[in-house]
Structure 1
Amino acid sequence: MTARSPRSAPPRLLPLLVALLMLPVTPLQAQDVPKPAPAKRGSGMSGGTPVTVNFVNADLEAVTRAMAAMLDRQILVDPRVKGVITVYSEQPIPVRDAWLQYLSALRGLGFTVVETAGLLKVLPEPDAKLQAGTVSVGEVGARGDQVITQIFRLSNENPNNLVAVLRPLISPNNTINANPGNNTLVITDYADNLARIGKIIAALDQPSATDVEVIPLKHAIASDLATLVQKLGEGGPAAAVPGLPVAGNTVSVLADARSNSLIIRAANAARLASVRSLVERLDRPGVGGPAGQINVVYLKNADATKLASVLRAAFGGGGGSSGGGSFGSSSTGTGMAQTGAAGSAGATVATTPVSQSAQPSTGGFIQADPATNSLVITAAEPLYRQIRSVIDQLDGRRAQVFVESMIVEMDANKAAELGFQWQGLLGNNGNRFGLLAGTNFSSGGNNILNLSVAGASGSTTVAPGTGLNLGLLQRVNGTYTLGALARFLENVSGTNILSTPNLVALDNEEAKIVVGQNVPFVTGSFTNTGTSGSTVNPFQTVERKDVGLTLKIKPQIGEGGVIRMTVFQENSSVVGTTLTNQNGPTTNKNSLETTIVADDGQIMVLGGQMKESYTDGENKVPVLGDVPGVGNLFKNSSRERSKSVMLVFLRPVVIRDAAAASMLSLDRYEAIRAQQAAEQPTQKMLMPINESPVLPAVPPKGQATPTAPATPKN
């Protein structure tokens, strides 16, 4: 760097500037600057004589060398840092201000400075986030265009919510990350920008709600009033973006059935006071008389008919009008109903009659309406409160169980065969008698006699067996015959089948999945013979059965996530060689039925079979086949070994809420979509079809899902 006045540099600085500009800068090598006088290292940043800088289109390395001399610090320069830079001032300025101008000029060129282990490094901006050594917690202390890492600890706000807000304010090459574990944000960016972001975070990290308030109710039912207050409490000005909540208007209302109280949390004190006033006005005694004793409860999760039976049994209500707390008689209708005077047990008559078969069969003071999945309860206020408390506890969202099943089947077979066969005719031409001697084993194409006859007659129906066949031919009366045959064979085969049926079942409900074929099996036949002996009206009775993979489960979730599950698994297949049998095909079947207890996410092995067999066979000529060495020419040996394994594994996962169900479904959806994209056919110019269907991408929340599968573009 050259320090000089706007028109001319002071005479005492000219030799120093000339020497600095003549020295080369070695990339990634510390620039040691001679100290003009003994001083504390690095003291030039905070004090010293003001300087006037005037670098116009100067070499960047030379300016960096000058800045190192002014700061009395070592600066490393990345080899990729090249170019010219302009840094100037009209009047003397402190060294710190000159350094800040230098950092700003570097930033305009796409470079920056980071500090690591006491050294300053000049490097391209995209690499700064990987080498930034300065890490601060709390308030931002550094200033300027130097890249540092800052950790912000949040007290109230969720860090994931702030990432979307702060990301546009950070340089594209720098990073922001949220750590929900300790509620912090980790941001790497320029120091000046981090100071601005720190002020924004401090303004956003404010308590979003007042203290929780519990309001006991005197007359109303907490669960009934909670829904109404929640809807009314969320009212207010329209949101700027449809579908997003209005800031400052969030109200959370929960019902405590045990104490018949409302638990309310609002965004501010004024909102809380408004909700409290609304609750006081709604908490009034109900209408007296019979009309006030009839209540309709709409269920969210439970089945109305089943719950009505449970409640009648729990509260001693019998069938018909004999249930405790019931009065009068009623008939269901679809039109307007007329009711007797208040205070009297009058009858209710529907203006539009409904057939008896359309009416629910339940009776008593708790009536179920399957059409709307609701309960009509006729009871006095104290009894209704008890019934409603039980309903709130039973009408909860039932958990589900996602079951991953893995069925592994492996077969390995290995066979070997070694044998010699020979045939010969002993005797001279013209002799009346001769001797035929030889050995032959096996049958078909493995037999030497069959091959000899086929060769002599020119037949092609008999062919040599598989493996290596070595034969010795001899010519008799112009015809070639097979005199000796050596056969060598080794056969290795194996299968590996993995089936992974998946199934979701509701807690304490049975679920079943079948993957296979519906195969017909003949169970009987009838033939009627006419007077002329011809068959008249023949017919067969056929029963179709599922052949393939069947998985049936019934889970029951206990406290602590322990799952008790009844499992039935069957894997069957039709033997292909028996399809034309007169008595019908034969099926292979492996089935398993058991009851297990497993933890959430635990992999369990349900059972299986491991089978291994070994067969050793030998055909030989007596005595001759036992002669060492030579005996191999008089025998045929075979060995076979087979091994089969079948195991069934199962992994249950509890799904307790909609978020977990959505996450699991999205995970499976994306896995199938990625597999479809990876298995696209290879594009060929001469083939008109170069793509296969792919599931559409999951749209952002609030948008409709495409109905047709996406098709990749060429």
Structure 2
Amino acid sequence: MKWSVPSFRRVAPLLVLALSACSNPSTTPLLVDSELGQPLANTQRSGENVLDRQRDLASKPPVQHRVTNSARGHAPAAVKARNPLGDQPVQLNFVDADIQAVVRALSRATGQQFLVDPRVKGNLTLVSEGQVPAHQAYDMLLAALRMQGFSVVDVGGVAQVVPEADAKLLGGPIYSAGSSGMQTRTFRLQYENAVNLIPVLRPIVSPNNPINAYPGNNSIVITDYAENLARVAQIISGIDTPSAIDTDVVMVQNGIAVDIAAMVSELLETQGADQTQKINVIGDPRSNSIIIRSGSPERTELARNLIYKLDNAQSNPSNMHVVYLRNAQASKLAQSLRGLLTGESDSGVSDDARGKLSAMGGNGKNTQGTSNAQNSSGTPTGSGVQSGYGQTTGSTPSTSGTSTENQDTAFSAGGVTIQADATTNTLLISAPDPLYRNLREVIDMLDQRRAQVVIESLIVEVGEDDATEFGVQWQAGNLAGKGGFGGVNLGGSGVNSTPTSKTSIDVLPKGLNVGLVNGTVDIPGIGKVLDLKVLARALKSKGGTNVLSTPNLLTLDNEAASIFVGQTIPFVTGSYVTGGGGTSNNPFQTVQREEVGLKLNVRPQISEGGTVKLDIYQEVSTVDTRASVDAGTVTNKRAIDTSILLDDGQIMVLGGLLQDGYSQSNDAVPWLSDIPGLGALFRNEKRSVNKTNLMVFLRPYIIRDSGAGRSITLNRYEFMRRAQGGLQPEHSWAMPDVQAPQLPSVEKAIPGAPRAVIRAVPVSGGAQR
């Protein structure tokens, strides 16, 4: 319904009359037509003198405004400060009225300044059955506007009516108790995660209003209506509570805390997802106590009672004990306890890992003798192989650098007898109970799961070679009867002088070869060969290499490990002839085999701070196919032997080689090559440029549990599976399709992680685990 200005002026007094109805009509102020065009805050009431108003205002005491730390003045306080009518009750009777007209009328009744956005248009119905206070009428207006998609934001004492989507962009007040309208509130959580709580609160907040999480201080910022913010605050206070965790420490008087904790943990372990039923029972060998952590006090009490029942004194105590080791090796641990009790170090025990590291710089060469005889009878043969770590094996007696002696794992000292059983990985201990308790504390501390280290090495080599060669060869002669023969051979073998190939030119060198041939020449003792007058040769060669090797190695903490990928190539080191009796001779050659490829030897040591100390020997060797000498094959070898300290997951460059070389060689005929201009026909020049860039990088990863190891394994597994999938044979119409082998999927290949269960095995005679 559209109203014109004259019609609105006629019904305006009726609207004001409906709003200002009260029990004392004689004192109710009314709006007149002459006052509608004036500002609402400065409107003069009929029957009131201006001087009287000023005198009344001067006689009133000044209003004291209370300032809070996080809130500006809210709407009810502003109404009390500026409302000329106070809380005088009014009656609302707006049926399908224009929004702006209703706002102007309520501004007069409440004394609140309003600023209406031009986009706020429409009609609303605001009706009250009886008289309501002015501040309640104001709240009813806010609710009615909210249902129409509009919001009221109090900015500097002025209520701005804007579309709800724009309310969050205005400088509205921060939340304070008792306020109304659109506000912003910050909730700082103490126990729950703010990011995880956003999906829970998002459906409760109005769709057009924002809700954000700040992980920096674990807070949530919400802009919404004050009533809804109060409801959100109650929900957050109910969720942000400490989890029901109950802990207790139980001292063990008679038994061993670690043994009792293992049995109690197995008995109370549950597979359900209920957090209140989960319980952790851990034994502390230092104080011989048991720590209980559960989700409910009832579960804690159950574990405490079970510990008390198991911690009973034995009726027939025995000094014989059996200790089952979980991680340590029984023989090595027995040697450590021997040194502890006797104060003597075991110098006879050899460390295989240390022997490997000491041989890191070795060539790993194998020596083998071979014999080629003219007949099978009376042929002496012999063989001997030496391994890369100093161990010699063969048909002849051998010695071993890493001999494994039968170490004595049983000893007695100070009234204690300890025997290590390697088959069951247990320690048999005979000791008095007080001394056994002290030994058991040491054993439990040493029998800990050792971390592992995955070592990734990246070897990058980029090389470039560029060579240029130019030379001229001459040959002349007349040997029909008697005559002379001569020639110049620079940079090539020229004419082949073998009797079996008299009329052929030797295999010409690479490059451009231009020559002049004039029949044949008969050389005494050789025969006829081609009469090569002149041969010019020009060659330019260019090559490059780009090699990336990524060896990976997994080993235990403080254990040496090695990996080698390559070949063993035989090298002839000598040859001689032995007499075989009579007139037969046996030629004999000695051959040395050398490992050529990639070799990585490493020993990691993990510190308490998470850093890893690495003793590394890394070698990369290749066969140089471009270099050929009379002695045999040429190999290129690059090795690094160093110790470094890295953080977990840190990548570090170990070292490298940056080489830039230039070489030049000239072969020339004396005197003739010095002739200006013509001397180039009697020279052979060769120039070459080579560049080599080699870098070695290393990165260690510490694996402390099965989850981390499984993650790395699955990563490598999927990488190899994708690589196999890319090398499947293509479809062929002439041949049947063949499926290349491929790794199965992870779900089929790797079963789920089994649940580790340690079962208590009763031992007769008072033996304990």
Same fold (TM over 0.5): yes
CA distance in structure 1 between the partners assigned to 2:695 and 2:650 by the alignment = 16
Q: Does 1:658 align with 2:706?
A: yes
* Structure 2 partner of 1:302: 328
Q: How far 1:174 moved relative to its partner?
A: 13
- How far residue 302 of structure 1 moved from its aligned partner, in angstroms, is 0.9
- 2:338/2:411 contact within 8 Å kept: no
Paired with 1:189 and 1:400, the residues of 2 have a C-alpha distance of: 53
1:285 partnered with 2:313: yes
Q: Equivalents in 1 of 2:260, 2:553: separation in Å?
A: 38
Residue 172 of structure 1 and its aligned partner are, at CA, apart by 13
Q: Distance in 2 between matches of 1:674 and 1:179?
A: 40
> Deviations 1:492-539 (Å, cap 9, x if unpaired)?
2121222111111111212121212355678999999799x8999x99
Pair 1:408 & 2:460 matched: yes
CA contact (8 A) 2:578 2:588 kept: yes
Are the equivalent residues in 1 in contact too, given 2:168–2:209 (CA < 8 A)? Answer: no
Cα 1:404–1:37 shift into 2, 3 Å: farther
Query: What amino acid maps onto 1:274 in structure 2?
Result: L
Q: CA deviation at 1:396?
A: 0.9
Alignment partners' CA distance in 1, 2:203 and 2:579:
87
Contact 1:573 1:588 in 2 (8 A): yes
- The aligned amino acid for 1:515 is V
Equivalent residues of 1:420, 1:485 under 8 A apart: yes
C-alpha distance in 1 between matches for 2:590 and 2:234:
84
Match of 2:620 in 1: 571
| Greater mean deviation of Cα atoms: 614-623 or 195-204 | 195-204
Specify the alignment match of 2:169 in structure 1. 118
Within the alignment, does 1:227 sit opposite 2:275 as a pair? no
Among the aligned pairs, what percent are the same residue? 41
Segment of structure 1 superposing worse, 377-386 or 499-508: 377-386
Give unmatched runs, 5+ long, in structure 2. Answer: 9-36, 42-73, 80-91, 99-113, 128-139, 151-162, 345-407, 521-529, 754-769
Matched AA of 2:190: S
The counterpart of 2:603, out of the listed 554, 560, 569, is 554
Question: TM-score, normalised to structure 1's length?
Answer: 0.58
Distance 1:637 1:565, change over 3 A: same
Deviations 1:388-422 (A, max 9, x none): 11111101111222222223334322111245678
Q: 1:490, 1:597 → 2: CA distance?
A: 47
CA contact (8 A) 1:294 1:376 kept: yes
Determine which of 341, 345, 352 is the counterpart of 1:315: 341
Q: Which amino acid aligns with 1:276?
A: R
Contact 2:577 2:585 survives alignment (8 Å): no
1:395 to 1:544, Cα distance in 2 relative to 1, 3 A: same
1:442 paired residue number: 491
Q: How many residues align structurally?
A: 557
CA deviation map 1:443-470 (0-9, x unaligned): 35xx6xx69x9xxx99886687544567
CA deviation map 1:104-155 (0-9, x unaligned)? xxxxxxxx97549837xxxxxxxxxxxxx9999999x9999xxx99986442
Instruction: Report the alpha carbon displacement of residue 223 of structure 1 after superposing the two structures with TM.
Output: 1.5
Compute the RMSD of aligned alpha carbons. Answer: 6.3
In structure 2, what is the equivalent of residue 370 of structure 1?
422
Match for residue 549 of structure 2? Answer: 499
Offset, 1:97 = 4.3
Which residue is equivalent to 1:329? none
1:34-77 superposed Cα distances (whole Å, 9 cap, x missing partner): xx99799xx99x999967499xxxxxxxxxxxxxxx9934779x
> Are 1:138 and 1:151, in contact at CA under 8 Å, matched by a contact in 2?
no
Cα distance in 2 for partners of 1:88, 1:680 equals: 72
1:641-656 aligned at under 5 Å gives the runs 641-656=689-704
Matched, 1:389 2:441: yes
TM-score (norm 2): 0.55
- Distance in 2, matches of 1:393 and 1:162, equals 42
Contact 1:305 1:362 in 2 (8 A): no
Is the 1:51–1:94 Cα contact (8 Å) retained in structure 2?
no
Q: Is the 8 A contact 1:229 1:253 kept in 2?
A: yes
Structure 1 alignment gaps of length 5 or more: 1-8, 17-35, 55-69, 77-86, 104-111, 120-132, 236-242, 319-359, 426-432, 706-714
More relative contact order in 1 or in 2 (CA 8 Å, sep 6+)?
Answer: 2
> CA 1:542–1:316 in structure 2 vs 1: closer, same or farther (change >3 Å)?
same
Distance of aligned partners of 1:520 and 1:250 in 2 relative to their CA distance in 1, 3 Å threshold: same
**TM-aligned CA distance change 1:371 to 1:98, over 3 Å:** farther
Q: Among 540, 563, 571, which residue is 1:490 paired with?
A: 540
Q: Which moved more, 1:209-218 or 1:571-580?
A: 571-580
Give the letter for the 2:314 counterpart: G
Give yes or no for contact 1:563–1:598 (8 Å, CA) kept in 2.
yes
Q: Which residue identity does 1:208 align to in structure 2?
A: S
Q: Distance in 1 between matches of 2:453 and 2:125?
A: 75
1:258 paired residue among 264, 279, 286: 286
2:245–2:295 CA contact under 8 A, matched in 1: yes
Q: 1:208 to 1:702 in 2, by over 3 A?
A: farther
Is 2:450 aligned against 1:398? Answer: yes
Distance in 2 between residues matched to 1:435 and 1:696, nearest whole Å: 78
Measure, in 2, the Cα distance between the counterparts of 1:684 and 1:15: 91
